[in-house]
Amino acid sequence: MWQARRASWGRGLLLGLLALAVVAVGATPVQRAAAAADAASVPRPAPQAERVRVGFLKVLGEAPMVLARERGYFAAEGIDVELVDFAVTADALPPLGTGQLDVITGGLNPAVFNAVARGVGVKIVADGGSVGPDNDYLALVVRRELVDNGRYRGPVDLRGLRIAVPGPYAVVHYVLKVLLDQQGLSLADVDVVPVSMADHASAVSRGAVDAAFSVEPFVSQAVRLGAVRVLGAHEVTPNLTGGITLYSPAFPARAPELAERYLVAWLRGVADYNAAFGPDRRDTESAVQLLRERGIIVDPTTQLPGFRADGRFDVEGMRGMLDWYVAEGVVPPGIDLATVVDFQYVDRAAQRLGVRR
């Protein structure tokens, strides 16, 4: 196929040169115009796609990127996305900082801010999934026995309970902290137990823990096993971003236009995601299949992360998390969010697509 295409280009180029030769020997104006049109129509090889290396965690926040990749939106921008597997965000940060990766989408945690504190110029450039009224995908579940016998009647009754979170200083750990603050309690009043998210449902069901602050689809899994969903994160920390999209400092430095084009394709993926999982529910089955084929667990019957059409998120909610990290001593003071969050690329991408803020 390649040889045939190259031969076709060669024949087209020869025709173009012959057409231009007509001009060289004193053709009429009509002939010159026709020759120019023939030359302009000569097929040219497409420019080679530029490779962008993306850390891949197989989390819901990566759904817009996967949809954009599988549906050719990156290819339309001249981008070849190479997926590089990682287990957690913290593992992907070192290669992001050194430019071995260009982009990652993952959960916000102290490692992001500690990288910045060390002088690694990573930038948070767009959302990675936020909670909202219809996107309350982070939620607290409690053992049904505690609800039925009256031990748990409301958040103030969390005192003394064993509560699972995915790990220290995860987003849901912060939401739990805020919830306890609102009840006049603190994290010292509960027993926080690190448990893998995939094990939350079984841990609550077996009574290994009394409650879990978890993420979909594990929240719904716990409910199916008998737990009670008592509240969602949006009720505690409205519009909090649960995930972020990060750029390596080397990525926009070497190709600022490429950094913008990446987010053009990504925003088209956001639009498809919102169409599939928002109120319209358009082409949902196809989107679910594409995501599952790439290893992303998605259940369209549950609440899922929300994405604004313009790719931005609520920075103030992130500020609360950063303040907590500093107060806990896991992140040094003095980090200015204004130097970490950089919406310039997604804003230009949204403008190009005609998406209003």
C-beta neighbour count of 331 within 10 angstroms: 23
The domain boundary residue, chosen from 174, 202, 235? 235
Mean pLDDT by 10 residues, the chain (357 residues): 39 39 44 44 58 96 98 98 94 94 95 93 97 96 98 98 96 97 98 96 97 96 97 97 96 96 98 96 97 95 96 95 97 95 98 92
Residues 153 and 252 in one domain: no
The string over 92-111, giving b where at least 16 C-beta atoms fall within 10 Å of a residue's C-beta and e elsewhere, is: bbebbbeeebbbbbbbbbbb
Residues 344 and 247 in one domain: yes
Residues 59 and 11 in one domain: no
The domain boundary residue, chosen from 212, 235, 258? 235
Q: Calculate the alpha carbon distances from 282 to 63, 121, 195, 295, 356 in Å.
A: 15, 39, 35, 22, 22
Residues 302 and 327 in one domain: yes
Locate tokens 């609520």: which residue?
A: 314
Q: Among residues 144, 174, 142, which one has the least CA distance to residue 160?
A: 142
Residue 45 lies in a domain: no
Residues 56 and 187 in one domain: no
Between the CA atoms of 304, 309, 310 and 315, what dihedral angle is there, to the nearest 10 degrees? -30
State the Cα–Cα distance between residues 227 and 140, nearest whole angstrom: 10
Rg (CA), the chain: 26
Residue 288 lies in a domain: yes
The string over 199-233, giving b where at least 16 C-beta atoms fall within 10 Å of a residue's C-beta and e elsewhere, is: bbbebbbeeebbbbbbbbbbbbbbbeeebbebbbb
State the Cα–Cα distance between residues 332 and 287, nearest whole angstrom: 41
* 229 sits in which H/E element: strand 228-232
Can you spell out the DSSP letters for 135-171? ---EEEEE-HHHHHTTS-SSGGGGTT-EEEESSTT-H
- SS3 (DSSP) at 216: coil
In this structure, what are the phi and psi dihedrals at residue 192, rounded to the nearest 5 degrees? -85, 125
Burial class (CB in 10 A: 0-12, 13-18, 19+), 252: buried
> How is the beta sheet containing 103-107 ordered, strand by strand?
79-85, 50-56, 103-107, 243-247, 123-127
Domain that holds residue 151: 138-235
Residues 257 and 342 in one domain: yes
Residues 144 and 102 in one domain: no
CATH number at residue 206: 3.40.190.10
The string over 283-312, giving b where at least 16 C-beta atoms fall within 10 Å of a residue's C-beta and e elsewhere, is: eeeebbebbeebebebeeebbbbbbbebbb
Q: Are 52 and 261 in contact (CB under 8 A)?
A: no
Q: Among residues 92, 93, 65, 89, which one has the least CA distance to residue 79?
A: 65
Q: Are 205 and 225 in contact (CB under 8 A)?
A: yes
Q: Among residues 125, 129, 134, 124, which one has the least CA distance to residue 60?
A: 129
Counting the structural domains of the chain, the total is: 3
Q: Are 324 and 110 in contact (CB under 8 A)?
A: no
Q: Are 210 and 142 in contact (CB under 8 A)?
A: yes
Straight-line distance from the first to the last Cα atom of the chain, in angstroms, rounded to the nearest whole number: 45
Residues 167 and 202 in one domain: yes
Residues 199 and 215 in one domain: yes
Residue 192 lies in a domain: yes
State the Cα–Cα distance between residues 336 and 323, nearest whole angstrom: 11
The domain boundary residue, chosen from 204, 219, 235? 235
Residues 25 and 105 in one domain: no
State the Cα–Cα distance between residues 194 and 7, nearest whole angstrom: 62
Residues 106 and 156 in one domain: no
Residues 123 and 248 in one domain: yes
